């Protein structure tokens, strides 16, 4: 390996048991097969896609290191699930699936993969070497925009039940406002999100990104997408 694996953090992984990591691995393989997004990226049957995403190379000779890297990546999803559950109170909404936070953590990864598919190389299907890694926006811990994007692909994939009140709560959260403020000095990530969200505009699964759900003190209402555009301008 000549590059750093995606989000390999031994300290986070150390808090997750091997059994938890393996359970997430099995669930993620299912999500990989049924995943749908506004990017029209289909990973079904392409297990090498995730291998390249995690390892940055599907031809890794050190099998022990590769196995540990995969385990740490799955453990990281478990840790992210706990963060999402605590920060957004997924279990506080009766119409949310019990495993929603886990599904969100997995769809954050899947959406990051979908964002990096080079459509000029693979417009209709995916090959394992068609990633543009410069388009990744995945952060050390799940962000509000990552969660909102994941909710769109979850709805499109019918991967879990999502309470509309939960979505509205995430959209109107202080955490989103803080993230938007931070994006003013992170134009690369801002541009990547806008490019992704542009492709979601006509997809009802992502309507929470385009509805004017956020109100200011003057009574004006804005959508997540409009606020992202205002930062860019």
Q: Report the mean per-residue pLDDT for the chain.
A: 84
Asked whether residue 1 is domain-assigned, the answer is no
Q: 52 or 160: whose pLDDT is higher?
A: 160
What per-residue confidence (pLDDT) applies to 64? 79
Which residues are CB-neighbours of 118 under 8 A, at least 6 positions away? 130, 131, 132
What per-residue confidence (pLDDT) applies to 50? 78
9 pLDDT higher than 70: no
Structure tokens at 28: 């993620």
Asked whether residue 40 is domain-assigned, the answer is yes
Asked whether residue 76 is domain-assigned, the answer is yes
Q: Per the structure, how many domains does the chain have?
A: 1
96 pLDDT higher than 80: yes
Asked whether residue 5 is domain-assigned, the answer is no
Residue 113: which domain range?
10-232
Give pLDDT tens digits for 17-52: 888 988 998 999 888 888 888 876 656 555 567 777
**CA dihedral over 114, 118, 123, 125, signed as positive or negative:** negative
| Number of C-beta neighbours around residue 223 at 10 A | 18
Are 48 and 122 within 8 A, CB to CB?
no
From 46, 162, 176, 60, select the one nearest 113 (Cα to Cα).
Answer: 46
Asked whether residue 38 is domain-assigned, the answer is yes
Q: What are phi and psi of 52, to 5 degrees?
A: -70, -35
Give pLDDT tens digits for 183-231: 999 999 999 999 999 999 999 999 999 999 999 999 999 999 999 999 9
Asked whether residue 164 is domain-assigned, the answer is yes
Alpha carbon distance 192, 135 (integer Å): 6
Asked whether residue 2 is domain-assigned, the answer is no
What per-residue confidence (pLDDT) applies to 91? 95
């Amino acid at each position: 390996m000549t590059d750093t694996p995606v989000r390999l953090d031994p300290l986070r992984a150390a808090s997750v048991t091997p059994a938890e990591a393996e359970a997430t691995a099995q669930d993620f393989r299912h999500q990989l097969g049924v995943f749908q997004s506004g990017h029209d990226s289909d990973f079904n049957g392409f297990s090498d896609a995730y291998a390249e995403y995690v390892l940055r190379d599907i031809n890794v000779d050190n099998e022990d290191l590769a196995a540990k890297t995969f385990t740490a990546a799955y453990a990281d999803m478990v840790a992210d699930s706990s963060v999402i559950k605590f920060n957004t109170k997924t279990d506080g909404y009766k119409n949310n699936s019990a495993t929603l936070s886990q599904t969100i953590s997995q769809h954050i990864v899947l959406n990051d993969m979908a964002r990096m598919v080079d459509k000029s190389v693979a417009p209709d299907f995916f090959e394992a070497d068609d990633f543009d890694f410069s388009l990744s926006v995945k952060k050390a811990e799940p962000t509000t925009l990552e969660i909102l994007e994941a909710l769109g692909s979850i709805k499109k994939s019918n991967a879990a039940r999502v309470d509309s009140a939960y979505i509205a709560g995430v959209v109107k959260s202080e955490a989103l406002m803080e993230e938007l403020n931070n994006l003013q000095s992170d134009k690369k990530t801002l541009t990547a999100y806008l490019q992704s969200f542009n492709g979601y505009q006509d997809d009802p699964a992502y309507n929470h990104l385009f509805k004017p759900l956020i109100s200011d003190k003057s009574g004006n209402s804005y959508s997540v997408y409009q606020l992202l555009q205002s930062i860019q301008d």
